Amino acid sequence: MIWIGDVLVSRGEGGVYNERMLGGARVWDPYRSKLAALYYTGTGREITQEMRVLYLGAANGTTVSHVADCAEVVYAVEFAPRPMQDLLEVARRRRNVVPIMADAACPEQYAPLVEAVDLLYQDVAQPDQAAIVLRNCAFLKTGGDLILMLKTRSVDVRKEPGEVFRDTADALEAGGLEITESVWLAPYHQDHAAIVCRKIRTGGSA
């Protein structure tokens, strides 16, 4: 990750969402992007030039554009038509983004399209986030990394965020993932946790 002073940036064509530029690089705002917030509050995982990334919950392509600045190719999965229109516009300008309109909960819809990836990033705000991860682990190389953004209020508003977090962590470990880091994204995002995992064995079925 590139830091200029204490500001996180990525190098690429600017103007995607009126982001600020700093020394010719695009400022990556932790208040807008949960992934940036992870790099500010924890260590996260270095995204390098040769990495292939599967990005679930691509939304308007804001964070996707930064990830695409760092990685070789980004497979960006989004379901809703309105944000998909914005994502397509981002993908037209960034030739290493593959936009896929499909439901992240049904990987068989896009299985013929997505190669084995080094990093699985998920930010879907669904109640069954852990199950969706485990279903998508088929795309992740053994030894590859997972970054999960857990929106605890979307899983169950009545439960305490900490409890939701523990349930999710247990489900991930049962599915063949080893948790290497977990941080809360406060003060950038409320009740959001980031969980970083490594895939240590295959066959953790959902």
Q: Which residues bind other proteins (CB under 8 A)?
A: 73, 81, 84-85, 88, 91, 95-101, 107-108, 111-117, 135, 138-139, 205
Contacts 24+ apart (CB under 8 A), 72-80: 72/96, 73/97, 73/98, 74/98, 75/100, 75/110, 75/113, 75/114, 75/115, 75/117, 76/100, 77/102, 77/104, 77/110, 79/103, 79/104
- Considering the complex, what minimum distance in angstroms separates the CB of residue 110 from other proteins? 9
Residue 103 or 167: the one with the smaller Cβ distance to other proteins is: 103
- Considering the complex, what minimum distance in angstroms separates the CB of residue 64 from other proteins? 13
Residue 108 or 156: the one with the smaller Cβ distance to other proteins is: 108
| Residue count (the chain) | 206
Tell me how far apart the alpha carbons of residues 70 and 137 are, in angstroms, rounded to a whole number: 22
Residue 180 or 202: the one with the smaller Cβ distance to other proteins is: 202
Residue 6 or 50: the one with the smaller Cβ distance to other proteins is: 50
- Considering the complex, what minimum distance in angstroms separates the CB of residue 38 from other proteins? 26
> In this structure, are residues 58 and 78 in contact, taking their beta carbons and an 8 Å threshold?
yes
- Considering the complex, what minimum distance in angstroms separates the CB of residue 11 from other proteins? 20
